[in-house]
Amino acid sequence: MQPGIHTSFRPAHDSAAQDERFRRAFAVLEAGITQKAFPGASVAVAHRGKLVALKGLGHFTYAADSTAVSPQTIYDLASLTKVLATTAMCMQLYDQGRFHLERRVVEVLPEFAGSDPRRSEITFRMLLAHSSGLPAYVKLFETVRSRDDLLAQAFQVPLAAEPGHHAEYSDIGFILLGIALERIAQEPLDTWCEREVFRALNILSMKFRPQKSLHTRIPPTENDTRFRHRLLQGEVNDENAWAMGGVGGHAGGFGDAESVATLAQCLLNGGAPLFQTHTVELFTRRENFPAGTSRALGWDTPSPPSQSGKYFSPRSYGHLGYTGTSLWIDPERHLSVTLLTNRTWPDRSAQAIKEIRPAFHDAVVEALDGSSSI
């Protein structure tokens, strides 16, 4: 670990002080709960190395007797898995000289080759930057019976655009990236990340496939009446990840707000003990190509109108998760904001979080800046 670099936070936050300081920000979330944008939320705000807010609001569901959300509540992180696990593993293997951004995907995944010669041009940089030409999403789970079946189909998903010429967020690309990392490391994605990332930071509540004993700390994401025909609690919401056994490069991670904030603080501190500083800078910097992209490597960056609100600096980076999760990090402000919800309860239809999330981020920054406006 570099001198002066710490991944743990300085003295714990003051609950009474945080409630007053972030009163307007919490009110935004409480209004969201009232309008049923999500039944509950867990928040962690870290500023200049200190955890200045850690709070649970609302409940697991809208039922009158539902469990109250607390800072220890664990959420399905959905696509935050892409950055907190998969991209983190890429960065560690990059530091070890085992992962190369310009390496062609077919060199590690020969099954990805096909009759379309453009497939052989796709690099790992393109997968990370969502510029591979692969489509955003394919319901592979509908026609497969096993993880191997799903991967066989994923390897052959047709390109939707010219590689390197168009940025389109792609779950398929990260499914393939996760498999490639497993072959490079010769180890499953989940076991690597739980040992080398999560346990290395002592964030033991972040994991894939949480054990049954943790399920009472996890809000349900959905009452699934379409595919699994059961209430989903403690198992990944994403169907493709579920068909892969609960572990995918694109989804499958679970964690609480403080765990997410701890990993964010590692990045804000320059990467130690997980990554080299230059690797953090490389992966979190917006790509120059394709023209107009907002993507970094694995991460996204603010582009108006942004879910991070209007105050995060151009150097900021973050990511969203389908279930209603988000993480935004601003190195100029030495700030990270983690917001975890289950906006998919009970049936995925709620979309109001798209307006609530930026308003919440704006209120957080205004509280930190001492502004009275919201």
Q: Considering only CA atoms, which of 312, 337, 270, 329 is closest in space to residue 91?
A: 270
Q: Which pLDDT belongs to residue 7?
A: 55
Q: Which pLDDT belongs to residue 11?
A: 59
What amino acid is encoded at 224 in this protein? D
Residues 6+ apart with CB under 8 A from 250: 79, 81, 82, 86, 171, 174, 175, 178, 238, 240, 241
Taking 50 as the threshold, does the pLDDT of residue 59 lie above it?
A: yes
The CA R_g of the chain, rounded to the nearest whole Å, is 20
Q: How far apart are CA 72 and CA 203, in angstroms?
A: 12
Taking 50 as the threshold, does the pLDDT of residue 127 lie above it?
A: yes
pLDDT tens-digit series, residues 5-55: 345 676 556 788 999 999 999 999 999 999 999 999 999 999 999 999 999
Alpha carbon 113 to its chain centroid, in Å, reads 29
Give φ, ψ of 76 to 5 degrees.
Answer: -70, 115
Distances in Å between the Cα of 373 and the Cα atoms of 15, 337, 363, 364, 369 are 22, 19, 8, 11, 11
Q: Delimit the CATH 3.40.710.10 region(s) of the chain.
A: 15-77+195-369
Q: Which pLDDT belongs to residue 372?
A: 41
> Whole-prediction pTM value?
0.95
Residues 6+ apart with CB under 8 A from 149: 143
Residue 374: pLDDT band (50, 70, 90) is: very low
Taking 80 as the threshold, does the pLDDT of residue 204 lie above it?
A: yes
Q: Which pLDDT belongs to residue 3?
A: 33
Q: How far apart are CA 25 and CA 356, in angstroms?
A: 10
Mean pLDDT of the region 146-165: 96
Q: Which pLDDT belongs to residue 370?
A: 83
Q: Which pLDDT belongs to residue 5?
A: 37
Mean pLDDT of the region 190-213: 97
Q: Which pLDDT belongs to residue 15?
A: 82
Q: Which pLDDT belongs to residue 14?
A: 74
For domain 15-77+195-369, which CATH number applies: 3.40.710.10, 3.10.180.10, 3.40.190.10, 3.10.450.50? 3.40.710.10
Mean pLDDT for all residues in the chain: 95
Alpha carbon 187 to its chain centroid, in Å, reads 21
For the chain, percent of residues with pLDDT exceeding 70: 95
| CA quadruple 99, 104, 105, 106: dihedral sign | negative
pLDDT tens-digit series, residues 287-334: 999 999 999 999 999 999 999 999 999 999 999 999 999 999 999 999
User: Where on the phi/psi map is residue 334: left (φ > 0), alpha (ψ -120 to 50), or beta?
Assistant: left
